Chain A
Amino acid sequence: MSEHAKLVIPSDPAKLVDVDAFAEHWIGDMPFTDDQRDDIAISLSEAVNNAIQHGNANDARKRVTVVLRRFEDGLRIEVTDEGNGFDPDAVADPTDPENLLSESGRGLLIIRHLMDEVHVRPADGGTRVELIKRYHD
């Protein structure tokens, strides 16, 4: 198994299933617990959903690139969109009582709880979200 793998998809939420299968297969032999695998799968789906909906504004002509990299202590995931960028600090607090019944806006909150590190930065003309999960906390 190579040290990294890459998947490029159009901005179509139906492709989330393909991304999940791609990652599940690729990290299959990495020594994560089942709970950690769920954390990774959930967080990856959040990052790709964000890239499709907020980064690429559901424009199917724009792509989302997913790169998985293994390193000594665990896994690094990079999800890059082709949009105009977004400010993660500008996202409304989904736990605020007035936002509790909103149907969206919780992705970043969940990622930050489930992954060990989360970085959002401009890259390649879009936004790249980097997620890191280590075997041990």
Chain B
Amino acid sequence: MKLRSERHGEVAVMELRGKVMGGPDSTVFRDELKKQLDDGIKKVVIDLGRVDWMNSSGLGILIGGLTTVKNAGGEMKLARTTDKIKSLLMITKLVQVFDTFDSVEGAIASFSE
């Protein structure tokens, strides 16, 4: 997995790429999220549009991120979820847990609604 972050105003967009399969991926994600929160960011978008596939460890990484952000008083949303990830969210019923958006722009705009 590769991870790239950028800021859009007060929103951090973290783009994941490749195969999200746990192991070292978890540490990479957690460290970057902590850095954003330490910088005072409370609004986070996870861009999944370039993820090839994700397994249950990847879903666990996202749940851990959601819990961390919420505990810090913030919000985390998912953007550009691929059909495969949507199907995994349905199978696991995590569709009830995450706010998902078809575009990064839509996810960013949702924070001010």
The interface of chain A, by Cβ under 8 A from chain B, is 13-14, 16-17, 20, 35, 38, 41-42, 45-46, 49, 94-95, 100-107, 109-110, 113
> Is B37's beta carbon under 8 Å from chain A?
no
Alpha-carbon distance A102/B56, docked complex (angstroms): 11
> Is B55's beta carbon under 8 Å from chain A?
yes
Interface centre among A45, A110, A113 (most CB of B within 10 A): A45
Number of A-B residue pairs with CB-CB distance less than 8 Å in the complex they form: 68
DSSP class of A's interface residues: helix, strand, loop or mixed? Answer: helix
Alpha-carbon distance A113/B89, docked complex (angstroms): 12
The interface of chain B, by Cβ under 8 A from chain A, is 19, 21-24, 52-57, 59-61, 63-64, 66-67, 84, 88, 91-94, 96-97
Instruction: Specify which chain B residues have a CB less than 8 angstroms from the CB of A16 in the assembled complex.
Output: 21-23
B1 to chain A, nearest CB (A): 10
